[in-house]
Amino acid sequence: MAPPNLMEQNCNNYDDFLSRPCTWVNGPIIVGAGPSGLAVASGLRRQGVPFVVLERTDCIASLWRRRSYDRLKLHLPKQFCQLPGLPFPDHFPEYPSKDQFVDYLESYAARFAITPRFDHSVHSAKYDDTIGVWRVTAVVAGAEVAEYIGRWLVVATGENSEKVVPELEGLLDEFAGDVIHVCDYKSGERYRGKRVLVVGCGNSGMEISLDLCDHNASPSMVVRDSVHVLPREVMGKSTFALAVLLLKWLPLWAVDKILLLLAWAVLGNVAKFGLKRPSAGPFELKNKQGRTPVLDTGALAKIKSGEIKVVSGIKSFSPGKVELVDGQILDVDSVILATGYRSNVPQWLQGCDLFSKDGMPKSPFPDGWKGNCGVYAVGFTRRGLSGASSDAVRIANDIGMQWQEETNLAKRR
Ligand SMILES: Cc1cc2nc3c(=O)[nH]c(=O)nc-3n(C[C@H](O)[C@H](O)[C@H](O)COP(=O)(O)OP(=O)(O)OC[C@H]3O[C@@H](n4cnc5c(N)ncnc54)[C@H](O)[C@@H]3O)c2cc1C
Ligand SMILES: NC(=O)C1=CN([C@@H]2O[C@H](COP(=O)(O)OP(=O)(O)OC[C@H]3O[C@@H](n4cnc5c(N)ncnc54)[C@H](OP(=O)(O)O)[C@@H]3O)[C@@H](O)[C@H]2O)C=CC1
Ligand SMILES: O=C(O)C(=O)Cc1c[nH]c2ccccc12
């Protein structure tokens, strides 16, 4: 291993990689500069451990900056969304806007002197057991390939790194209107007066349907099966905060029962409006399958008033039309796929026992953060930003301890 005072060295001394720029990283290689990558980096910085952050885009927090709609706010109260080592400014509201969250992340990166290498899209990471190091290759600015080599690899590419685009019969070849995924939706402005089919009824599908109404478009939202809608607040108190409090004393199933009673008292019987509830409770589903309950920010009122139409699953598309599984045929100008996201880890991480085929850690929270041979996963907990923070603290401490031991050994030598 290189001595700790040498942060990086060019190392063109491996026979098979002679032609490629190659950097020895004397510390962890962190892939991804979203909240998770930044949170690990800040913990390492505080312990004096050097690191390199590789980010495929040209900015930090690209999900929040580039791939989300204008009206987006954090939907959990701010105390559940701040990262370790720096609280939100006091003047931030209970639910900060996405611009405020991005500003916070910028000051977070500045405070901990985190300067990612932008335009570095990691396309392979492999453990080389002949010398006990990770070899990470990245496409730099779409062309050149650079290699980074180091003892530790921190996977921080997120649960939402790729959009899910389902194969829907006729959508790409028959339907002639415009089709986008919600990650490219900014506002309803360009949909004024249009009939829009919103596919998916998670937090994204619900909120953009509301946004479309606010811009005088006519949304129909596809609910193919079931969905849990909860009020964001009950009597002025955050439903999520209440659940976290109750979980200190009660089992999950009991907390779910209480939440459903409260939801019924506040929202009424939502099944009447086409929003059938799953048989498993909202937090059970979130923890086991990662299906996030909808925290209502106003869409439900529009569903009740009929401004957002709830429709059944899709059978097929034809020019300007969609046929639904219940036989209904709708005229549609545009389609917005709010069909979710997936991890991209299987595309680039090779030979690693930490992740399963779906790109999520094999062990559920809180045990999925560490694998063999110096690999770590941050932000794959299905618990949003608070789960990412909890992983990040564990990872930074674990690497910090190893770093300390090795530094002391090196000093004694
Ligand atoms: C619309 C939306 C709203 C959300 N709202 C909340 C909320 O209110 N509260 C909450 O707790 N959670 C929320 N979440 C959950 C969300 O997962 C977190 O907010 C958070 O952004 C996750 O951080 P992350 O760093 O793990 O992933 P990301 O923010 O996705 O960051 C991952 C980074 O890795 C980069 N990357 C990916 N692949 C590569 C590669 N191969 N090479 C190099 N770089 C790569 C990406 O460009 C990105 O910058 C929301 C999610 C979405 C989609
Ligand atoms: N801060 C905030 O306010 C917001 C937070 N978020 C978060 O971002 C994450 C992603 O949310 P979101 O983008 O809503 O994605 P989700 O994965 O939560 O929801 C995807 C939706 O698409 C549906 N779907 C998928 N495939 C099809 C298909 N072929 N036909 C019909 N429906 C389909 C799913 O239905 P089914 O359940 O039947 O599979 C589900 O309703 C979540 O964790 C969410 O909480 C998102 C927006 C706002
Ligand atoms: O918004 C998200 O994606 C989150 O993961 C935040 C979150 C974690 N646990 C929850 C339970 C109910 C609603 C949102 C969340």
* pLDDT, tens digit, 9 for 90 and up, residues 223-280: 999 999 999 999 999 999 999 999 999 999 999 999 999 999 999 999 999 999 999 9
Query: Residue 105 Cα, ligand 1 centroid: separation in angstroms?
Result: 12
Q: Which of 132-141, 232-241, 402-411 has the lowest mean pLDDT?
A: 402-411
pLDDT confidence tier of residue 340, bands split at 50, 70 and 90: very high
pLDDT confidence tier of residue 88, bands split at 50, 70 and 90: very high
pLDDT confidence tier of residue 143, bands split at 50, 70 and 90: confident
**Cβ of 76 less than 6 Å from ligand 3:** yes
Read off the pLDDT of each residue in 289-299 and give the average, rounded to a whole number.
96
- Quick check: ipTM above 0.90? yes
Q: Are 397 and 378 in contact (CB under 8 A)?
A: no
Over the chain, what is the mean pLDDT? 94
Residue 146 phi, psi (nearest 5): -115, 145
Q: Are 137 and 123 in contact (CB under 8 A)?
A: yes
Q: So what's the pLDDT on residue 1?
A: 41
Read off the pLDDT of each residue in 322-334 and give the average, rounded to a whole number.
98
Domain ranges of the chain: 15-161+343-412, 164-337
pLDDT confidence tier of residue 3, bands split at 50, 70 and 90: very low
Q: So what's the pLDDT on residue 17?
A: 52
Q: Are 28 and 51 in contact (CB under 8 A)?
A: yes
Q: So what's the pLDDT on residue 351?
A: 87
Ligand 1 mutation target, pool 104, 160, 296, 376, most atoms within 8 A of CB: 160
Residues 313 and 303: their CA atoms lie apart, in Å, by: 17
**Which ranges of 274-383 would DSSP assign to H, the alpha helix?**
282-289, 299-305, 345-348
More confident call, 266 vs 12:
266
Q: So what's the pLDDT on residue 6?
A: 36
Q: So what's the pLDDT on residue 304?
A: 98
Query: Which one of 3.90.1640.30, 3.40.190.10, 3.50.50.60, 3.30.930.10 gives the CATH number of domain 15-161+343-412?
Result: 3.50.50.60
**Cβ of 202 less than 6 Å from ligand 2:** yes
Atom from ligand 1 closest to the CA of residue 182: 1
- Residue among 231, 232, 212, 228 nearest 220 (CA): 212
pLDDT(349) > 80: yes
pLDDT confidence tier of residue 168, bands split at 50, 70 and 90: very high
**Cβ of 22 less than 6 Å from ligand 1:** no
Q: pLDDT tens for residues 50-74?
A: 999 999 999 999 999 999 999 999 9
Ligand 3 mutation target, pool 161, 204, 234, 292, most atoms within 8 A of CB: 292
More confident call, 410 vs 5:
410
Residues 147 and 155: their CA atoms lie apart, in Å, by: 16
More confident call, 293 vs 16:
293
Q: Which of 6-10, 258-262, 276-280, 287-291 has the lowest mean pLDDT?
A: 6-10
Residues 345 and 329: their CA atoms lie apart, in Å, by: 39
Q: Are 362 and 343 in contact (CB under 8 A)?
A: no
Q: Which residues contact 139 (CB under 8 A, 6 or more apart)?
A: 120, 121, 123, 145
Ligand 2 mutation target, pool 292, 322, 337, most atoms within 8 A of CB: 292
**Cβ of 335 less than 6 Å from ligand 3:** no
Read off the pLDDT of each residue in 212-233 and give the average, rounded to a whole number.
98
**Cβ of 292 less than 6 Å from ligand 2:** yes
pLDDT(7) > 50: no
Q: Which ligand is nearest to the CA of 313?
A: 2
Q: Which residues contact 289 (CB under 8 A, 6 or more apart)?
A: none
pLDDT confidence tier of residue 370, bands split at 50, 70 and 90: very high
pLDDT(5) > 70: no
- Output the six-digit token pair for 145: 């390939």
**Cβ of 225 less than 6 Å from ligand 2:** yes
- Residue among 398, 395, 402, 399 nearest 380 (CA): 395
Read off the pLDDT of each residue in 139-144 and give the average, rounded to a whole number.
88
Q: So what's the pLDDT on residue 18?
A: 56
Q: Which ligand is nearest to the CA of 229?
A: 3
Distances (CA, A) of 237 to 78, 137, 176, 243: 13, 47, 46, 11
Q: Domain 164-337 adopts which CATH fold?
A: FAD/NAD(P)-binding domain (3.50.50)
pLDDT confidence tier of residue 141, bands split at 50, 70 and 90: confident
Query: Residue 63 Cα, ligand 1 centroid: separation in angstroms?
Result: 5
